[in-house]
Structure 1
Amino acid sequence: MTPPPSSVASSLEETALLRAMAAIAPSGVQVGCRLIREGDEAHLLPEEALSIPARQPAMRRASGAARWIAHGLLADIGFNDFTILRAPSGAPAWPRGITGSLAHDNEMAVAAVAPASDIGSLGIDVEPAQPLPDDILALVATHADVTDALDRDLAGRILFSAKEAVYKAVYPLDRQILGYEDIAVDLNAGFATTTTGRRARLAYCVAPRVVVLAFVPG
């Protein structure tokens, strides 16, 4: 088992990622991040814990870390101790008038929230800043995607993360399941379109992790 990172290293990585995320977040969007730690499942409020079916400790730790971030972001805009239940679709259920999104990879959790009056719908995704395996890229990429302005080593990873974030942003609006082939991403222009007719704006950072924000204007 890989030993947990030191508290100093954790703080440095979190600080660097938070700065990068804040730099790409549109006006009105609050963001946060946290390296997932042993015991983070304890940050799930009782009803949250009951609403999450996953029993694997790693998944529950990741959910706890993401919700810990979101609880803080919501408190900053006046929603103290709000219980973020997992809806039947798998998406988190936000307070009325708020849009938000949670994500995690194996080590880092992230969250974003915004007033729905500013941002109609919001999606976020996080990935390690490493090349995407070729077999996964073959499933994700289509001829409609535009990524030529990006670092070739990370273009596939950013594309994958963008489509994950777009799906999270548009599903609450249309309630339709989309595959990767249903989302066309133009990372040069910073937007994506879906077969349901939605258009989402994109913003991303690549260090120390790949994070993509997708948002539909209010």
Structure 2
Amino acid sequence: MTLPPSPEGALTEAMAAIAPPGVRTGCRLIGDADEAHLLPEEARSISARQPAMRRASGAARWIAHRLLADIGIGNVAIPRAPSGAPTWPDGIIGSLAHDDDMAVAAVARVGRIVSLGIDVEPAQALPDDISAIVATGADRTGAADRLLAGRILFCAKEAVYKAAYPLDREILGYEDIAVDLDAGRATTKTGRKVRLAYCVAPRVVVLAFVGE
């Protein structure tokens, strides 16, 4: 009898299926001792003292270290910048994210894609009060699962912000990002065009990327 894939295995496959060429993705269920995966420079750069936050940061960076090693880049720290964004090695773009239980990462060499954003959320309906803040009349959720459309939209806008901020250095609110899930694109108030891809297996993950 073939066993179903683990949550990590299922999400790993789903993310690989939506990632554009050249982008590597990975995930990890956050473990009790994952803060131990922070390299010294990384640990110093993360001011949060809450154990859960440090474990999540360690899990996300563990994934990123493995993805970087796969392309021949080893023993490189990914410290947190004052803005909160991870600082990548020269010639590398990437993004990290986590919810309460799962961490994800995406990395690529700079090339046809010049910026990346990723976000992860539980595959659950977004509370109505948060949905009212996130969604605008310019958003299009189209064929997305009606129960999860708000959550996917929230995840998409978080990922778009991560992809757009390094390029434009512009603080964006949810109302500043218009998302069209069917078309796989978003536009920010600055006019930045961002491509989108998402999966729901077993969590919602959205990849946002900007090409040359």
Normalised TM-score (structure 2): 0.97
Following TM superposition, by how much is the alpha carbon of 1:197 offset from its aligned partner in structure 2, in angstroms? 1.1
Unaligned runs of 5+ in 2: none
Partner residue, 2:27: 33
Partner residue, 1:94: 88
Q: Does 1:120 align with 2:114?
A: yes
Following TM superposition, by how much is the alpha carbon of 1:148 offset from its aligned partner in structure 2, in angstroms? 2.5
State the AA in 2 paired with 1:119. I
Secondary structure of the corresponding residue to residue 6 of structure 2: helix
Q: Does 1:191 align with 2:185?
A: yes
Unaligned runs of 5+ in 1: 1-7
Q: Distance in 1 between matches of 2:14 and 2:104?
A: 12
- Within a 5 Å distance, the mapping from 1:71-82 to structure 2 comes to 71-82=65-76
Partner residue, 1:43: 37
Hey, which bits of structure 1, 4+ residues long, moved more than 3 A? none
Following TM superposition, by how much is the alpha carbon of 1:121 offset from its aligned partner in structure 2, in angstroms? 0.2
Q: Distance in 2 between matches of 1:152 and 1:37?
A: 32
Q: Distance in 2 between matches of 1:12 and 1:206?
A: 14
Following TM superposition, by how much is the alpha carbon of 1:150 offset from its aligned partner in structure 2, in angstroms? 1.2
Partner residue, 1:163: 157
Q: How many residues align?
A: 210
Partner residue, 1:205: 199
Q: Distance in 1 between matches of 2:201 and 2:78?
A: 28
Q: Does 1:172 align with 2:166?
A: yes
Partner residue, 2:100: 106
Secondary structure of the corresponding residue to residue 147 of structure 2: helix
- Give 1:12's match in structure 2, choosing from 6, 9, 12: 6
Q: Distance in 2 between matches of 1:31 and 1:64?
A: 16
